[in-house]
A and B are shown apart, each in its own frame.
Chain A
């Protein structure tokens, strides 16, 4: 077990290095010139100013040296400074990360609870109308674009019914309060979570159906255990373990979805920051965000794999 975890960690290191190379290379190809965007070219001293600023930002060095400098700073926890605001990227991200984690976390919880529940019901009532309609719902879930679902929810719940706020993380002008924040969270979290429910549902259903046909389930019934006990103790306990892996699979799409949802609901997290940076050609911020999302995906895949091996003692990795 320890060896397995160690090996997985070691394999992640070259991937991590590859990720930094890819991120840096892409950012260096960004069109547009941040320096020109910051400095007015109308003044006579403009040319010198631009040169000076380029030197300060290290933009005049060869690309591999720029990469070296960037990685060196990275190791000191420095992601560079925003071209637009001059703030350090790490502090901009740190300030906005909680909002995104709150949104993604709640969406994930919605997806897991709803998805597992629907999947279990679907499997236990296989080929019933319930099963068919849940399956249809699942297909609809993976077919609706996040932004359309978001717009429909806004239209129904905040425009037509006037029940919930449609943008921001809290009411502007008021002091921050948790209940106000949670009211703002409901629509974006559901918009993000509902579409991901489908993957959990489909996987849970398949897993439960597979376990149901095992000999030990038949044995449990044969020795006279009640159906409820067979279901909870023998079927679900074994069937729900592999569902953990779906969290790892869902996470990258959750990241992408969060970007869209944050734009629609003006949820001030790192996704909205990323899109603003893309529009403003703010490559340090873009790099910081892309790097962070890749690292989080990598780390969470690692954690789900380890969790899976801990939860299911039948699995041996050596």
Chain B
């Protein structure tokens, strides 16, 4: 009596299929339906923003006193504001502003977070203690409060908005990278690299950093959603992107008066929904990326 053992030896299953980690990650991402929908919506938004001069024929900043406060119609799809500017045109051009502020801001904060987090995590000891105290200090301030304060010091402009959000929102990523570095640096591949004389900078970026790329990508995606929200809040308060340049946030600023809120809902509902749609899409993409790249995390 023989029992045929058709079970492959441990470790060979993946080899047979020949799937790399990235292919697996892509499959997991594509299975996340909401993330796919988010990706499609975001792509459409980016496309509209890039093609703004083509898809919106009216100027987003020039006044047209013949067409003031018109409700949506076939000529002005989303109506016009109190100075006759086409709302659709302002939304599309505002998308350029809001999306690029979000992207640049999150790039700044991710870069700072990675640098501080990897130095703290790799060096450990006193350097780590010092950098983490600094991180604690920055984290103690409610981020929006600090963003408003620093923005008022630097003066409101689109570049300052990017800068302020970027330099005040890095602690989250710094802590994340530090934690991962602390746990990875004790592992044998790091010891091996160190023992053959690889310089610390190279160990950090060639050996340790690839291990945190997934986690950082996920955090940066959620960070971008947040940066867009913060830009919107800042511009809403009049401390971010300045008129006449449209951004989704400052379009809602004009609608704070009761007459507009009540009588011209097209002026504030459309930009508001655009913010929600963009942020929601990015959050869904972030959730999909987490499933794909960082399956161990629970939240």
Chain A contacts to B: CB under 8 angstroms = 14-15, 18-19, 22, 26, 29-31, 136, 139-140, 142-148, 151-152, 154-155, 159, 202-203, 206, 209-210, 251-257, 259-260, 263-264, 274-275, 278, 281, 286, 289-290, 293-294, 297-298, 301
Whether B272 lies near A278 (C-beta < 8 A) is no
The CA-CA distance from A18 to B280 in the complex, in Å, is 36
Contact of B276 among A143, A154, A260, A281 (CB under 8 A): A143
Decide yes or no whether B211 CB sits under 8 A from chain A.
Answer: no
Contact of B145 among A14, A30, A159, A290 (CB under 8 A): A290
Decide yes or no whether B225 CB sits under 8 A from chain A.
Answer: yes
- Size class of the contact patch on chain B: 35 or more
The CA-CA distance from A97 to B44 in the complex, in Å, is 45
Contact of A274 among B134, B137, B145, B275 (CB under 8 A): B145
A263 partner residues in chain B, CB cutoff 8 A:
237
Contact of B236 among A142, A209, A255, A260 (CB under 8 A): A260
Contact of A203 among B142, B143, B272, B299 (CB under 8 A): B299
A154 partner residues in chain B, CB cutoff 8 A:
261
B287 partner residues in chain A, CB cutoff 8 A:
139
- Shortest Cβ-Cβ A-B pairs, 9 listed: A256-B144, A255-B142, A252-B142, A148-B272, A143-B280, A143-B279, A18-B137, A294-B140, A256-B142
Whether A148 lies near B283 (C-beta < 8 A) is no
Q: Residue on B with the closest CB to A202?
A: B299
Contact of A145 among B143, B155, B272 (CB under 8 A): B272
The CA-CA distance from A22 to B167 in the complex, in Å, is 14
The CA-CA distance from A143 to B153 in the complex, in Å, is 28
- Separation in Å of the B139 CB from the closest CB of chain A? 8
Quick one: given A31-B153, A206-B298, A278-B152, are A143 and B225 in contact (CB under 8 Å)?
yes
Decide yes or no whether B284 CB sits under 8 A from chain A.
Answer: yes
Whether A259 lies near B276 (C-beta < 8 A) is no
Q: Residue on A with the closest CB to B225?
A: A143
Whether A145 lies near B280 (C-beta < 8 A) is no
Contact of A253 among B140, B144, B237 (CB under 8 A): B144
The CA-CA distance from A136 to B280 in the complex, in Å, is 10
A298 partner residues in chain B, CB cutoff 8 A:
140
- Separation in Å of the A51 CB from the closest CB of chain B? 25
Known: A144-B276, A286-B149. 17 other contacts (CB 8 A): A140-B276, A143-B280, A145-B279, A147-B233, A148-B272, A151-B255, A151-B261, A155-B262, A159-B258, A159-B262, A252-B141, A252-B143, A259-B145, A260-B237, A274-B145, A278-B149, A286-B152
- Separation in Å of the B164 CB from the closest CB of chain A? 11
Contact of B153 among A29, A142, A251 (CB under 8 A): A29
Whether B262 lies near A294 (C-beta < 8 A) is no
**Considering residues A26, A29, A148, A297, which has the most beta carbons from chain B within 10 angstroms of its beta carbon?**
A148
Whether A297 lies near B252 (C-beta < 8 A) is no
The CA-CA distance from A225 to B144 in the complex, in Å, is 49
Quick one: given A31-B155, A147-B252, are A260 and B298 in contact (CB under 8 Å)?
no
Whether B145 lies near A26 (C-beta < 8 A) is no
Decide yes or no whether B268 CB sits under 8 A from chain A.
Answer: yes
Whether A19 lies near B140 (C-beta < 8 A) is yes
Decide yes or no whether B176 CB sits under 8 A from chain A.
Answer: no
Whether A15 lies near B150 (C-beta < 8 A) is no
